Chains A and B, each alone.
Chain A
């Protein structure tokens, strides 16, 4: 109860003082404004990036491994080294499927860019994917209409295809595509299904893709200079690490590699993207923390300075209050509240600027910005901590003033 009364009085005094020295108070908060603005803007941008990135990357699935000739992250030298690796062949994928015990599905995939046509409608350079029935599981995308192809379609090299959502929309705006024949590079293919809408991953729009059985793909486009990419779905997400080891072993066995030989294939996974991404955002965090803490320090010292001035100016007032019965603690609380209030103004303006800045960045660049409500709590925490930290010295100086000397001060 008592403390509430002191705080009430402290607030009243602080408000009066701030009103009396508006300009000075606002200038004092500048450091805090810049610090808070920097931190919150960067936090908002990083969070925005996180959200976008996590959404993108979740399309890959954390329980999927990708066996490939190339690693997703290579420098020039490793690229040239990896170019000499043998291409991965369809039969190797079949063997992996046979031998792996942790894989739920193994889908080999070959890619090419071709023109697709239905009557007078034509799509240029669509991505044609040759794969197997397992792709249904590894890519986690199901047919909206019709069906995906089966092992029979694959084994018999049937001329069937499954269209991506957008392909179907563009080639068959008014008609049901199922059963129609589209032509891929002059080859007639019967449409047996349309895939559900899948969206895009970075710049790849999966809905513009067309899927055909891998053996059909091989006989049309050849496999000689192509390397298969294997998508392996692991039975459970917590087996991913075990599966990676197992698959490496399986591949080595298939390829007859002996003890000293290095792997001549790569196993890629989602977490590699995540790691690289985290390194990147780590830099942003460091910048935020660096710039933020320097400006908060400068701002805090500014506040301390102005409070010291304020204590000197109000020496007589402090004397009066002490003569009348204010204890050290009461005077202390008074000046701490003033300090916290100056900070609060700075943090408030800082948050407003940060929101504006984040919106601006979001509107002129592809980087999204997410301002979550917890920045307000962060702001409150900042305010209190900085206000108290930098206010404590001036406040205790005021609290220790000798009342007689303070009363005599001119």
Chain B
């Protein structure tokens, strides 16, 4: 299994109140799965996503990523895991505003020490895969929302990560552009990538093979597509 979560709890303490954002989450996700995480607002989707993406650590429980226990890793070790294993796609794109598309895509390679010529080559390939070869030297504010999200996807996959994590990737896009972005994810999945997608829209979740539904931090339902079809 690529992702193994056991008894994951996440508690936020705000003054004297504690919020249980995740409760006893047990989850296994395998190679080349295409998973959608759904649930109402505040149900813990982003929290789960952050833990899977090693941006955050659980309050209790264990998380094995490719059979490596990352539950107790420090900041820098997690940064290295993120760089190597995870590609993030955010709702708000999160590109560097003053860097052009190419430089934005090169960023993960900079932090793993790839030499510049190879870096450029890989970044160009990634931009090619999302269909943005002709927009390489444009800055984010010179690109449309859909194009920005494509740059973000190119950045997520440039380092050949184990998992691509997308938190509401179509949330800031109109439905037509959203569909185009979903096609890109479809292609990546067909090419063998593992994709985990957070959304609260059923028609977006339709693209996946498996839907995990959260409520109040619990896994309420976890269904594979084949079962859905029944």
Contact = CB atoms under 8 A, between A and B. Distances in A.
Given A16-B98, A328-B75, A407-B90, A323 B55 contact: yes
Interface stretch (A2-10, A68-76, A218-226): A2-10
B107 A324 contact: yes
Contacts of A20: 98
Contacts of B98: 16, 20
Nearest to A320: B94
- Give the dominant DSSP class at A's interface: helix
B94 A325 contact: no
A327 B79 CA distance: 6
B83 A404 contact: no
Given A320-B94, A404-B56, A326 B111 contact: yes
A198 interface: no
Given A328-B75, A404-B50, A323 B113 contact: no
B116 A322 contact: no
A12 B110 CA distance: 12
Interface in B18-34: none
A133 B105 CA distance: 89
Contact of A317 (B82, B84, B96, B108): B96
Contact of A324 (B56, B111, B114, B115): B111
Contacts of A319: 94
A250 B206 CA distance: 115
Given A5-B116, A316-B94, A403-B55, A323 B111 contact: no
B76 interface: yes
A324 B116 contact: no
**Interface size, B (range):** 20 to 34
B96 A325 contact: no
B190 interface: no
Nearest to A9: B110
B128 interface: no
A325 B108 CA distance: 6
A2 to B, nearest CB: 4
Contacts of B84: 325
A284 to B, nearest CB: 46
A317 B140 CA distance: 14
A283 interface: no
A325 B90 contact: no
Contact of A325 (B56, B79, B116): B79
A321 interface: yes
B63 interface: no
A329 B56 CA distance: 19
Contact of B111 (A317, A330, A403, A404): A330
Given A1-B113, A5-B110, A9-B110, A328 B83 contact: no
Contacts of A5: 110, 113-116
Q: 10 closest A-B pairs (Cβ-Cβ)?
A: A325-B83, A2-B113, A325-B111, A327-B76, A327-B79, A324-B108, A320-B94, A326-B111, A9-B110, A16-B98
23 contacts: A1-B113, A1-B115, A5-B110, A5-B113, A5-B116, A6-B110, A9-B110, A16-B98, A16-B99, A20-B98, A316-B94, A319-B94, A323-B55, A325-B79, A325-B82, A325-B83, A325-B111, A325-B112, A327-B75, A327-B111, A330-B111, A404-B50, A404-B55
